[in-house]
Amino acid sequence: MKLYTMPGTCALAPNIAVAWEDAPIEIVNLPYGDHKSDAYLAVNPRGQVPALVFDDGSVLTEGAAILAFIGAKFGGDAFARDTPLGYREAEALSYLSSEVHAAFKGHFSPGTFAETPQSEKIVRHKTYARLDSHFKRLNDWVAESDGPWLLPERSYADAYLYIVMRWIERTPLKLEDYPKLAEHQREMEKDESVQLALERQGMKPTKA
């Protein structure tokens, strides 16, 4: 199996899960731009990472679905779904993917929602307010878990949270305004599997 990634992207979440589980999945880190090459469009016509290619050539996209696959196939009991942790993990992954990750679109591609520089400015302004409310919610969530993780135990949601929070550096928002999320980032970066995944994706720890 091959997992397609690209530096700086959300593909880091399944890449971290692969490292945590020591799963026999090859990481193929595309140089930025190659996600629109003919060769990669044959893998994922949407030109996005992550994509997991099975040995029979079939392809699974969507980070949360790839994480669910890695958990089911290689995660053993720790990530079994029929437990309160499993349901909470699914809830957190769904929120991170459909709400938090999606909200960054207004920062990375404001032109999707606006046609003029003036309306782009409004989109960005609203995007940062929306991201701030998501980050406050996530900060409370970590505080309530009574530990450094999003849930009472470490889960794949932490891998997803880690990559979306790295993107805050590219916005006017500041990680130090969400102290539990800053602590979460530091804890993740102490983890050797996270360090390995970062290296495989051509990235470095942030030293938050």
Q: DSSP label at 31?
A: P
Question: Does 63 sit near ligand GSH (CB under 6 A)?
Answer: yes
Least Å from the CB of residue 52 to ligand GSH: 10
Least Å from the CB of residue 144 to ligand GSH: 25
Closer Cβ to ligand GSH, 14 or 75, answer by number: 14
Torsion-angle region of 102 (φ positive above 0: left; ψ -120 to 50: alpha; else: beta):
alpha
Write down the H helix ranges in the chain: 12-21, 38-41, 63-74, 84-95, 102-103, 105-108, 117-145, 156-166, 179-190, 192-200
Closer Cβ to ligand GSH, 14 or 86, answer by number: 14
Q: DSSP label at 112?
A: G
Closer Cβ to ligand GSH, 29 or 48, answer by number: 48
Closer Cβ to ligand GSH, 43 or 188, answer by number: 43
Site for ligand GSH in 70-99 (CB under 6 A): 97
User: Is residue 191 a contact partner of residue 18, using CB atoms and an 8 Å limit?
Assistant: no
Among 4, 5, 10, 187, the residue binding ligand GSH under the rule CB under 6 A is 10
Question: Does 29 sit near ligand GSH (CB under 6 A)?
Answer: no
- Residue 118 makes CB contacts below 8 A (sequence gap 6+) with none
Binding site for ligand GSH (CB under 6 A): 9-10, 35, 47-50, 62-63, 97
